[in-house]
Amino acid sequence: MPNRRSVLQALALLPLASGCASLPQTSAKNFTPSGLPLRRVRIADERVIRTIAGLRPFRQSGFVVKTESFDDKVVIHNYGHGGGGITLSWGTAHLAMELALQTEYKSCAVLGSGAVGLATARLMQDRGWDVTIYAKDLPPNTTSNVAGGQWSPTSVYDEEFLTPGFEAQFESAMRHAYRSYQNLVGSKYGIRWISNYSIQSQPSVEQTFTEKYSDMYPQLIDLSPGQHPFDARYVNHYDTMLIEPAIYLPAMMQDFYGAGGAIITRHFVDQADVLSLEEPVLINCTGLGSGKLFQDEELIPIKGQLTFILPQEEVDYIVIGGDGTYMFPRADGILLGGTFERNQWDIAPDPAVTRSILGRHKAFFAAMDDPWSG
């Protein structure tokens, strides 16, 4: 006859046996190359927490980093990054800093407090300069706060306007930024490495951007249908860094203040108003404001609309679709994008676009193989 102890041991094993029998049937395709599970995003109207839109400062020939002289003032331009503002911020800031160091001064004004302005200001402080930021809006009311935050310089220029000179400048900025962000990975700045899945409807016939710069896209892999859980034939994987603006921008502000910086809220009416500042070096990081302040007729807005749904802690990968959709999992919500509307100044979200974004994502993730969801 079994004793009490053996009975208790047998009972203790029952839940374990039951649990083993119901374990999901997974395979390598259900995990990222780094070993994290690929879970389905739950798309539903009742999970929406906000919809926003922002305007990217875009130039067909790419961003501007150059020096311009006005009597007793040196103006260094650093604007026009398109969809690569956060990504390239430390890189173009480095290029702007190199131009500033060619002057005889040690004091400057930085115009703008988005990601580009803050990175520029911090690099100048690190070189021993006295820096004052002048800005109409401060975080969280800047264009950078509306950005997705994935490290990858997309929609920065139009291919047909690319010149060898700009391409060299672009690559230099990209490499400086790539290295700088690696130094900031961690919870303080809200930056982490993350898997990306690029979904295409057909194979690439030419070298892709990630292939061209493969040394900055680790774990770059072409996946066959049996190597991923998505209902797609052509899928490409790579890793990037994800920068969460709601964490990153306040941390940058704190660093700037901690290094002795000052911020003055000011709206500049025209170029004369800018040149009235007392600082001898003015670093222009005003983005779209540069069109009016410095007569850049090439600069246009590109509207991007995003919808956020409730966070899912188990979702930790990015999806970028060939139809313009993308999903970034952030602490402040799962970001669903998006749009790319040229010369559109209206920042009011369009309800029809919201429905389209939700519908496309819902169909995509409903078709995804997630063995844990059963």
* Torsion angle of C-alpha atoms 118, 345, 289, 115, degrees rounded to 10: 10
The values of phi and psi at residue 92, to 5°, are -70, -25
Q: What is the pLDDT of residue 323?
A: 85
Pairwise CA distance, residues 120 & 131, whole Å: 10
Q: What is the pLDDT of residue 189?
A: 98
- Answer yes or no: are the C-beta atoms of 237 and 189 closer than 8 Å: no
Exposed e or buried b for every residue in 72-102, given b needs 16+ CB within 10 A?
Answer: ebbbbbbbbbbbbbbbbbbbbbbbbbebbee
Pairwise CA distance, residues 89 & 125, whole Å: 16
pTM given for the model: 0.91
Exposed e or buried b for every residue in 142-153, given b needs 16+ CB within 10 A?
Answer: bbbbbbbbbbbb
Q: Which domains does the chain have, with CATH numbers?
A: 28-59+194-240+301-374 (3.30.9.10), 62-190+244-298 (3.40.50.720)
Exposed e or buried b for every residue in 333-349, given b needs 16+ CB within 10 A?
Answer: bbbbbbbbbeebeeeeb
Q: Report the 10 Å Cβ neighbour count for 159.
A: 6
Cα–Cα nearest to 251, from 187, 178, 179: 187
Q: Is 175 exposed, middle or buried (0-12, 13-18, 19+ CB in 10 A)?
A: middle
- Answer yes or no: are the C-beta atoms of 268 and 289 closer than 8 Å: yes
Pairwise CA distance, residues 286 & 275, whole Å: 14
Pairwise CA distance, residues 268 & 123, whole Å: 24
Cα–Cα nearest to 94, from 162, 2, 151, 174: 174
Alpha helices in 85-151 (DSSP H): 85-100, 115-126
Q: Is 10 exposed, middle or buried (0-12, 13-18, 19+ CB in 10 A)?
A: exposed
Consecutive 10-residue runs of the chain (374 residues): their mean pLDDT?
Answer: 40 40 85 97 97 96 97 97 97 98 98 97 98 92 87 95 97 98 98 97 89 97 95 96 96 98 96 98 97 97 96 97 92 94 94 96 97 88
Pairwise CA distance, residues 264 & 67, whole Å: 23
Q: What is the pLDDT of residue 28?
A: 95
